[in-house]
Structure 1
Amino acid sequence: MGDLAAAAAVALGSPGGRSAGHVAILGYGATDPGLAEAFSGTFREGVAWLGARSWFRPHLPPTLEADGLSALGLALGVNRLLHRRDAAWLGALVVRGATAAGLSDLNRSLMVAAAHILEAPARRDLATMLPEARVALADLGIVPADAECRRPAWRNVLRFEPAMGDPARAALTLRAFEALCETNMPARLGRLEPGDVLRVLQGVERSLRLWTWEERPRTPRSALVRWDIENEYHVQNLLWTTLAPLFPDLNAEEYTPPVGHKNPRMDLTVPSLGLVIEVKFVRAGVSFAKIVEEIAADAALYRVDPKWRVLIPFVWDDSFRTEEHPKLIEGLRKLEMVHDAVVIPRPGKMERDAGDRIRPGRTGTRRASKAGAPGIDDIAQCPDSEASESTPRRVNRNVGVLKSRT
């Protein structure tokens, strides 16, 4: 990119040989901090030169007005090096160009993306872009991602043929294909990796947006329902529901060979990947350092069996200490056997009534009785201190409870 930007800067110094494409190359180069500093002055001069020109002139063939690739490069450079008001003409050009008749789908998509980068008034919605272009540019961090466009993007990518477009479209299609393969497990052609499990677990927090927690009954004949998460068993049930349809060999509470007097039991496992998911439920008053110690001890026991190679801790933070999550994840990543870690807070909407608050100071990790604790579906009869309370809780008869079923 450096050589290309240098050649474009030389061309811009020649009045008879310069073009909008040369300025656009410098705009793309501006996404590299080193190149941005080296060519910022030349780019500013190029934008001023283009801004002084007349566009959409009758009876003349369009140039930049129909060149989405150059428009996108200019928008990136303006966003990086200039104030948008210094290139208001460009915002107006891409908004008008995106509505021009006869414009190719790719150029229209890139015009729309450029308009959004510039926050141009009256810009078209990103939904009007080619889905594969939207996926590719989202993967590059240029436009926001949209999960709804992934399916049509995948369809278009599979049907793409080199003869269908120019090199720019081929490059965008390839980028979209790579992005989709990273996040779409069916695209992996049956080859699953621990990273696939990690991505599903990282999506659990987003999935809780529609988790049932009602402020009022949804229908006249319904009771008020709130699916509370009160302990580690509940978190395991949630993860089982999420992972079981995707990983057929998912197991719950599998034992490893005894280690001396220890008979370690793993929360969730995917044997085909040699992967263990260790669930932790952190209550208020429990330090995250204690969680790191417990997972380190778990990993040491699991590692004795060579069958298990990868560990992913999943921590439910019931105390909502989100400011400490990055440090916790950083610490867990340093542990041997840990591929990565996922920490999610209790959703803000799941606020308990004062009388329903569970007691602080307990991790919910079942360390004392883990070797002989019941299965994830036996929480109602579990003798574990997490499942039984010496003091009865206040019960609201109008509140439904999510019960685990086999």
Structure 2
Amino acid sequence: MTATTILLRDAEAALRLTAQAGDLSPLEAAFIAWLCAEPPPSTVADALAPPLRRYEHVALAAFAEAAGWDVDASKLDDGLHWLVAVALERAGMPAPVVTDGIAHLALGLAARKRSWLAEWHDRVLGVGSINVAPTWLTGGGAIVRGLAASCTAELRLALASRGVVASAAADGPALLEQLVHGDLPEDALHAQVVLAALRWVRRAAPVVLPGQATSATVTDLLRNVPRSLQQWPWEEKPKTKNSRAAKWHVDNEYHVQALLWTILAPIFPDLKREEYAAQIGPIQPRVDFGIPSLRLLVEAKFARDRSALKNVVNEIAQDASSYFTHAGAYDSLLVFVWDNEGHTQDHHLVISGLRQFNRVVDAVIVGRPGHMTDGALSAAAP
């Protein structure tokens, strides 16, 4: 065990003690519950009783909406309209909502899908930018809206754990250095946010890759799939007397997804299966995989013949148009295609077409290896 590991362990223990020692307000408790994807605190129900006529209750309802807790959307909208009509200054002093950093965050989440609220939220951020309390929450309300703003590494990482922002490459090392040097918060709320950030750094960091992973890292991994397939079991007779001849067929899109999961899951601990993109009316687009720490979606395609290979471009055009209609946890797409007939002469053309779509960061096409044939593919189900 290294000295750094010991220091981090001690820092985490101290953070837990601090987090457990202090009391949180109902709004603070709701913020932490949303941040950690936990059930709503017991204080939430009373605060959500309509009509919402305190800014703290409106902000708490916004967290409830973001967390998927039981909240009446019409009552929340009523509270938001009431809040927008409240003066931002009182006797020359900023109204409480203007300086409350947690309220900035909650209302920023609500404003992500309400353009009329976004305009008001911009004014709140403008008036309160130099008066946010606590100061370490400065910038949080802006970055959850996708606006450019400076904020602390722990806040950006904690919010990244909920998929509402992307963390910067320097955030993880900055947080770890801060903890190793004993720069620890003294209040329970801040300590819980730092703990959430630390969990995300550990969970999101690739476990076998040095340095900071990017979408290009995933692309490079998948481009090396042909090398992996050199040892793919495809036996004419058993290798040992107590085994059967094994042929690991890749005959449909489900098999391709299994292959990708096998490659990516050990490396990216936050890999998610069948990730959902932002809802469009009654439609809930679903993507094969998501890597939240990279804000990257990965779509697998199985092209049974040459016509299907060329049609992948049309399929991704339709898919990509529905995946990114609203701000969400992901902002880019990587396409992986299994070319079952190995039409390598078309790969460059298809990849070039896929790369033209705005959110597609790259595409990888892998042709079925020549040794993986046994005359049964024509009978395989789609």
TM-score between both structures, scaled by the size of structure 2: 0.44
Identify the structure with bigger relative contact order (alpha carbons < 8 Å, sequence gap 6+): 2
Q: Which has the larger radius of gyration?
A: 1
